[in-house]
A = this chain, B = another copy of it.
Amino acid sequence: MKGKPISRYPVPDLKTLPQDIQERISIVHEKSGFVPNVFLTLAHRPEEFRAFFTYHDALMEKDVGLTKAEREMIVVATSSLNQCQYCVVAHGAILRIRAKNPLVADQVATNYRKSDITPRQMAMLDFAVKVSRQSEEIGSVDFEALRAHGFSDEDIWDIGAISAFFALSNRMANLVNMRPNDEFYLMGRVPKA
């Protein structure tokens, strides 16, 4: 599928990009072995690119309270309901890797209620989905339900903020018609040789 457009918008030549963005992309390239299309497509607007990834990293690269795998579960569950192809495919891959579980991403993407996750994680996803789809109805009872599973208020902020951030991210991907890299589809499905 090489050669398929990855965005409705022009994709900038890496060399023409500001230095800091080149570096950011170079780091992820080295780490992943390829450049995820979200970096190339959003680089069309460097200022928004910087804000997007700063926000993203603040929420997704933490390992306190929620594990990194749990953060990815939130992304996959909510992005699937928003029908964001890029986010489900790319973060599905990351979820498989971070959870060291080749099945959980497809499970959470189709129906998180029937996934191999803990009751605590189920409550986490119930909340995340409510923030994503009916945030106007979030109230104290929803907070109580999460506290009953041992989540702190800071954990709840994380859950809600990840759901909120991907509400933005899903819409940007749908807006620009962002195409997931072919590499994501197989990542985390087969044991590394």
In the complex the two chains form, is B136's CB within 8 Å of A113's CB? yes
Chain A residues close to B by CB (< 8 Å): 1, 4, 8-9, 44-45, 47-48, 50-52, 54-55, 58-59, 80, 82-85, 88-89, 92, 102-103, 106-107, 109-111, 113-116, 131-132, 135-139, 143, 153, 157, 160-161, 163-165, 167-172, 174-177, 179, 182, 185-186, 189-190
Report yes or no: B82 in contact with A136, Cβ–Cβ below 8 A. Answer: yes
**Residue A110 contacts which of B109, B114, B167 (CB distance < 8 angstroms)?**
B109
With CB as the reference atom, state the residue of chain B lying closest to A81: B83
Q: What is the bound-complex CA distance between A172 and B164, given in angstroms?
A: 6
A161–B137 Cα distance when bound, in Å, is 24
* A189, closest chain B residue (CB): B186
Taking the nearest CB of chain B, how far is it from the CB of A104, in angstroms?
10
A132 vs B110: C-alpha distance in the bound complex, in angstroms? 17
| Structural contact, A136 and B111, CB atoms closer than 8 A | yes
What's the Cα separation between A106 and B80 when bound, in Å? 11
Asked if A80 and B160 make an inter-chain contact with CB atoms under 8 angstroms apart, the answer reads no
Q: Is the CB of A113 within 8 A of B139?
A: yes
Do B51 and A106 touch (CB < 8 A)? no
Known: A82-B135, A102-B185. 8 other contacts (CB 8 A): A44-B157, A51-B58, A54-B54, A80-B110, A83-B111, A84-B136, A92-B106, A113-B139
